[in-house]
Amino acid sequence: MPITIVVGMQWGDEGKGRVVDLFSENTDIVARYNGGDNAGHTVTVGSEIFKLHLIPSGIIHPHTVCVLGNGVVLNPATLLEEMEMLGSAGIAITPERLWISDTAHLITPAHRLLDRAREAALGKAQIGTTGRGIGPAYMDKTARKGLRCGDLLDMVTFQLRVKQHFEEASGQLTALYHQPAVETSPLAEEFLAQAAQLIPFIRPVGARIRHALSQGQSILAEGAQGTLLDLDQGSYPFVTSSCTTAAGVFSGLGIGICPIERVVGITKAFQTRVGGGPFPTELQGETAAFLRGTGANPWDEYGTTTGRPRRVGWLDLVLLKYAVEINGATELFLTKLDVLSGLDEIFVCTGYQREGAAIRQADFSAEAGFLEQCKPIYEAVPGWREDLRSLRKWEELPDQAAAYIKFVEESCGIPVTHISVGPERSAVITRE
C-alpha cells in the first residue's frame, strides 16, 4: 500500500503532531524519518496534553506501531522520559508497539555540551539551535564515527567506544572552545545505563517496513521540523542538520523508491520561526503579540521544546509555493485559522522585490543570503470577527475566512483539504 507523508511547509511548529494524531486513526504504522528531540509535537486529547519530542504522535492510538527510523538521532534520556510520561497516562510502550532502527544514531551528553559550546562561540552569528546535541550527532554520523543503536547489542565493544567518544569530546571542549575539562566517567556511566534500556526495542526497521508495505499495510511517515529548515533546501546556514522534506522518507526509513499516495503539507494560516535567520514577513508590535498569544495556553506561539517565544509574521505564499514544489505536496492542511479571528484586515505576501525589481519564482532561492535581501510584496484581504473554534463544517465558515483559504489554494495550485480551528483533536474542518 502506498505511503502517506506529513511534512511541514514552513520553519517547523506548523502543528504536524495533531495532524499525525488525526491521520493515525486509520494507519497501521507511523514512522518518524528524521531529526532528533529538538522537534516538539503537541497533541491535545480532551483535557490531556501530550508533548512529544521523539515518539511519533500516532502512539496515542492503541492499534498503531510507531517507528524511529535510521534518519533519526536519538537521545536515550529524552526517549525514556517520554515513555514514562506516556505510560503514566495509560499508553502502553512495548517492543511490539515501538521499533527503534538499529542504524539510528545516538545523542550523548557530550554532543549536547559541544552543541552549546559551538553556538556560544558564534556570538552574534548564532544559528539559534536548541542546544540538544543534534548537529554534533549528525557531524559524527557523517564523519563515520557515530554511535548507533545497533552497537548496543555488543555492549563490551560499545562501552569502549563510549569511553573514547567522551574523552575526545572533552578534549575538543577545552582545546577548541576553552571550556573547563569535563569529568567524563559519570556522564558516560549514566548514558550507558540509559541506552541499555532501549535494547529490547531495537529492530532492523528498514526490513520490517519493506515487509509491511509488501503486505499492504498502511504507513504514515512523519517529518520533524519544516521544509525551510532542510539542510539542502532551506534557509542555509540557519537550518537543521537533517533532510526535513518528503524526499527524506526513503533514506530515513531504509526503503526503496515506491508509490506515494499523499504528501500532506502542513502550514499555519500565518508564519512563525524560532531561532536566527531571515524572515521576510516578520512582524513586531501589537499585531505580532496578537498572533503569538500570551503564553498562557499550551498552543500559543512558544516553542514546545525550548519555551522560547516564536517570531511571527504574515503568511508568505512565495515560500509556501516553494515548499509545495520541493515536496511534491498533493494537498495542504491549514492550521491555526482561528488565531486570525478578530483582525479586520489580513496581509499576505504574494511576491518579493530584490534590489528594486520583482523576483520571478524561477529565480527564487531559499538560501539565507538571498532571503535577507528580499522585501515582501503584500496583498490585503478582508478579515473576520467571528470565533471559529466551534465550527466543524466548511459551510459554517465566514465568507471572508473561506475566501482566505481559496486564495491560498489558488496561489499554491493544490487544495486545502483540512482546516484546524483549535488545538483539540476534533477541532478540524474536513473538506470533501
pLDDT above 90 for 275: no
Residue 416 in grid coordinates: 486545502
pLDDT above 70 for 21: yes
Residue 384 in grid coordinates: 473576520
pLDDT above 80 for 40: no
Cell numbers 539510528 label which residue? 104
Mind spelling out the 3-state secondary structure of the chain? Answer: CCEEEEEECCCCCCCHHHHHHHHHHHCCEEEECCECCCCCEEEEECCEEEEECCCCHHHHCCCCEEEECCCEEECHHHHHHHHHHHHHCCCCCCCCCEEEECCCEECCHHHHHHHHHHHHHCHHHCCCCCCCCHHHHHHHHHCCCCCEHHHHHCHHHHHHHHHHHHHHHHHHHHHHHCCCCCCHHHHHHHHHHHHHCCHHHEECHHHHHHHHHHCCCCEEEECCCCHHHCCCCCCCCCCCCCCCCCCHHHHHHCCCCCCEEEEEEEEECCEEECCCCCCCCECCHHHHHHHHCCCCCCCCCECCCCCCECEEECEEHHHHHHHHHHHCCCEEEEECHHHHCCEEEEEEEEEEEECCEECCHHHCCCCHHHHCCEEEEEEEEEEECCCCCCCCCHHHCCHHHHHHHHHHHHHHCCCEEEEECCCECCCEEECC
What's residue 303's pLDDT? 72
| Digit-coded pLDDT (tens) for 140-169 | 999 999 999 999 999 999 999 999 999 999
Place 117 in a pLDDT band, splitting at 50, 70 and 90: confident
Cβ(221)–Cβ(4) below 8 Å: yes
- Find the range with the poorest average confidence among 130-139, 225-234, 291-300: 291-300
In percent, how much of the chain has pLDDT > 90? 77
Nearest to 87 by CA among 429, 380, 303, 79: 79
Domains and CATH numbers, the chain: 3-102+200-264 (3.40.440.10), 105-196 (1.10.300.10), 267-430 (3.90.170.10)
What's residue 296's pLDDT? 65
- CA quadruple 10, 12, 18, 20: dihedral sign: positive
| Digit-coded pLDDT (tens) for 91-100 | 989 999 999 9
230 is catalytic: no
Entry pTM: 0.93
What are the φ/ψ torsions at residue 55 (nearest 5 degrees)?
Answer: -70, 130
Residue 204 in grid coordinates: 532492523
The total number of residues written for the chain in this structure: 432
pLDDT above 80 for 130: no
Place 129 in a pLDDT band, splitting at 50, 70 and 90: confident
Interior angle at CA 317, CA 411 and CA 386, nearest 5: 85
111 is catalytic: no
Cα end-to-end span (Å), the chain: 22
| Cα–Cα dist 136/313, whole Å | 31
| Cα–Cα dist 224/244, whole Å | 6
What are the φ/ψ torsions at residue 269 (nearest 5 degrees)?
Answer: -75, -5
| Digit-coded pLDDT (tens) for 6-17 | 999 999 999 998
| Cα–Cα dist 381/402, whole Å | 11
Peptide linkage before 259 cis (omega within 30 of 0)? no
Q: Round the average pLDDT of the chain to a whole number and report it.
A: 92
Residue 108 in grid coordinates: 550523548
From 21, 37, 41, 111, the catalytic residue: 41
